[in-house]
């Protein structure tokens, strides 16, 4: 029997990189998985079709996390179909880099980053917990950048991720009476399309700092998430799990 049979999972940002790997892993473990996407409708449908063809169940919902109410409505739509949310994974994020000298020029992008990386996470939690049975699971994808920066131009982004780690710890207290666990995963450099498109000098900079001398694979992040949402992790809450090849050691 698959470990997550009869569970309903909701994942934000499920069409690329870590998000896609998480969606596919949870579906493989037996969960019914609803996930959000923004622009990649064709990719989203492809993921749904592949999961359904392999005997799983998936559902894609278009939602822009920068728009107030969008993620909440997507969760409500999921509940209308499946009656509950057992697992919430807040994965969707926006990274806006740039030095402090150029911040005024990018103020709109920075505002959107805060909406996606912080406000939409709180919206998802506040909505999902209303439909989450006791013993549910929440996993927030943060970043190793919340504890180790590694270079200039990232201050606003890493601040949002540090906020999510702190929010996780507070939520662990708030939801403990219902035996709902809340944890964060803090990936380092992960071999997603974003990193693959980066300048070679940037890639080498990260590689030089990693003791294991390789980037994480999205499936490795998904494996950690899968453990945290399972029965064996029932006594783990309020914790942050760094998965970075040793860069923060």
Q: Does residue 209 fall inside a structural domain?
A: no
pLDDT in the model for residue 68? 97
Round to whole Å and give the CA distance between 128 and 28: 22
- Which residue among 37, 110, 131, 157 is the active-site one? 157
Which residues span the domain enclosing 65? Answer: 8-189+218-243
Q: Is 5 helix (H, G, I), strand (E, B) or coil?
A: coil
Report how many domains make up the chain: 1
Tokens coding 98: 């740039």
Q: What is the pTM of this model?
A: 0.94
Tell me how far the alpha carbon of residue 245 is from its chain's centroid. 19
Known catalytic residue at 157: yes
Q: Tens place of pLDDT for every residue, the chain, 249 residues?
A: 579 999 999 999 999 999 999 999 999 999 999 999 999 999 999 999 999 999 999 999 999 999 999 999 999 999 999 999 999 999 999 988 777 777 777 788 889 999 999 999 999 999 999 999 999 999 999 999 888 777 777 788 899 999 999 999 999 999 999 999 999 999 999 998 777 777 788 788 889 989 999 999 999 999 999 999 999 999 999 999 999 999 988
pLDDT in the model for residue 58? 98
Q: Does residue 212 fall inside a structural domain?
A: no
Q: Does residue 43 fall inside a structural domain?
A: yes
Residues 6+ apart with CB under 8 A from 186: 142, 143, 144, 146, 147, 161, 165, 240, 241, 242, 243, 244
Q: Does residue 249 fall inside a structural domain?
A: no
| CATH number of 63's domain | 3.40.50.720
């Amino acid at each position: 029997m698959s470990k997550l049979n009869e569970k309903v999972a909701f994942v934000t940002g499920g069409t690329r990189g870590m998000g896609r790997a998480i969606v596919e892993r949870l579906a493989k473990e037996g969960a019914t998985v609803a996930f959000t996407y923004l622009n990649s409708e064709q990719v989203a449908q492809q993921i749904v079709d592949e999961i359904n063809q392999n005997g799983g169940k998936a559902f894609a919902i278009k939602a822009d996390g920068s728009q107030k109410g969008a993620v909440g409505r997507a969760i409500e739509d999921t509940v209308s179909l499946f009656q509950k949310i057992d697992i919430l994974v807040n994965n969707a994020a926006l990274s806006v880099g740039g030095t402090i000298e150029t911040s005024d020029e990018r103020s709109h992008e920075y505002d959107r980053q805060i909406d996606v990386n912080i406000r939409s996470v709180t919206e998802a939690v506040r909505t999902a917990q209303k439909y989450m049975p006791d013993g549910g699971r929440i996993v927030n994808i943060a970043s190793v950048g919340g504890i180790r920066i590694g270079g200039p131009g990232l201050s606003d982004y890493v601040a949002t991720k540090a906020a999510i780690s702190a929010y996780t710890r507070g939520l662990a207290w708030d939801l403990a009476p219902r035996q709902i666990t809340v944890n964060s995963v803090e990936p380092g450099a992960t071999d997603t399309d974003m990193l693959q498109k980066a300048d070679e000098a940037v890639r080498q900079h990260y590689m030089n700092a990693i003791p294991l001398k390789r980037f994480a694979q999205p499936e490795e992040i998904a494996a950690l998430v899968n453990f945290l949402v399972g029965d064996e992790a029932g006594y783990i809450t309020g914790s942050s799990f760094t998965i970075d090849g040793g860069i923060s050691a």
